Amino acid sequence: MKIDRIELTHLSMPLKHPFETSFGLQTERECILVTAYAGGLVGWGECVALSRPAYSYETTGTAWHLLADTLIPVVLGQGWQEIGELVALTAWVRGHRMAKAGLQAAAWDLVAQRDGVSLATKLAEPYAEPPRERVAVGVSIGIQPTVEETLARIAGFLEAGYGRIKLKIKPGRDLELASATRRAFPEVPLMLDANSAYTLDDADLFRQMDDLDLLMIEQPLAHDDIYEHSRLQAQLATPICLDESVETPAQAGWALAIDAGRVINIKPGRVGGLWEARQIHDLCRGQGVPVWCGGMLETGIGRAANLALASLPNFTLPGDISATERYWERDVVEERFTLNAADSTITVPDRPGLGVTVDHKAVARYTLKNQVFEMASQ
């Protein structure tokens, strides 16, 4: 396979509802779509970097630069057959995993189409069991102005059929919120996401949460910390879930070795792509550590890829892959992912490749800029 043309499209899409975390408030979501052309096939990927360096040092600006000036020139016109060969071409580039993941996702779409199988089936090739047809999902609720408004949002999502609730927290909006939620919904699977907003000095606060029967507390400490998470986990009965701290399979191994967390959230963009995500999945599976697929407010392109990943065998916890209507009035794919309310699942696309049809009019509507890269004429 040889990619002879790549197109980058920088989008800005209005969110259906504002989404607040400890990083701040989002009303729009920027991303970069990567479109790769090879042998008559068209593959789509999504780079999930944010517009600001909050969750990660990467931004849409840095990702565009890396893609345009480094990654795309390296892969254009190069012959390869499987994703591992493509990954090897860019392995010398340090970091910039979200940029790499966007390009890699488009390549996965191409190879799955080439082989006439869904992306889920392509990802599941190393395993004895086929991918799941439906994956369990939950909903992530941003920080609301009041506890009462949070409880009302939860009630609405439970009524819609979501079976797991994740609450964003930050200092001053944590224990009271979590306690009130547990009193109001004593049986609901509940987790908290701190997005690195706390320090080890807050250990007592988290010890008080042990009585709330939480599924997990996600990334309470610094985004680049593993060691202090191990010290906090030793004081808690509640499992810690690592997110920002795990950017590579090696870091996942270090975290598991010192019991820095007992769950790992796998986001393909954060770890460099679906190839690396599958490696972390396999490592955790071998050690009996559950994983789940996190979300980055993806469009339908990124959402389809996340569903394919979450169909693998060790994704045993509900992921942050909510229905289309949770975030977008109009998505950039024609299909709308809907919640199967009876069991809080979403159906995995089963057509070749990503299994979605891009809505080119919607892409054009949200486009900030666009650039095409082609092989130099021989």
Backbone angles phi, psi at 93, to 5 degrees: -80, 120
The whole-angstrom separation of Cα 330 and Cα 193 is 27
Q: What is the dihedral of CA 47, 363, 324, 357, to 10 degrees?
A: -90
Q: Which of 211, 232, 210, 209 is CA-nearest to residue 220?
A: 232
- Phi, psi (deg, nearest 5) at residue 38: -155, 120
Q: How far apart are CA 186 and CA 38, in angstroms?
A: 53
Contact 276, 249 (CB under 8 A): yes
Catalytic machinery residues: 168, 267
Tell me: pLDDT of 22 over 80: no
DSSP state of 136: E
**Residue 377 has what pLDDT?**
59
Share of the chain above pLDDT 70, in %: 99
Residue pLDDT, tens place only, 268-316: 999 999 999 999 999 999 999 999 999 999 999 999 999 999 999 999 9
Kindly list the structural domains of the chain, giving each domain's residue range(s) and its CATH number in brackets, ordered by start.
Answer: 5-116+360-374 (3.30.390.10), 122-347 (3.20.20.120)
- First-to-last alpha carbon distance for the chain, in angstroms, is 18
Amino acid, res. 282? D
Query: Two tokens at 207?
Result: 């010890």
Summarize pLDDT for 338-359 with one digit per residue, the tens.
Answer: 999 999 999 999 999 999 999 9
Question: Which residue is listed with tokens 């709330």?
Answer: 212
Q: What is the pLDDT of residue 50?
A: 95
pTM: 0.95
Whether 185 shows a pLDDT value over 80: the answer reads yes
pLDDT of 262 over the 60 cut: yes
Mean pLDDT of the chain: 96
Taking the C-alpha atoms of residue 313 and residue 271, their distance in angstroms, rounded to an integer, is 19
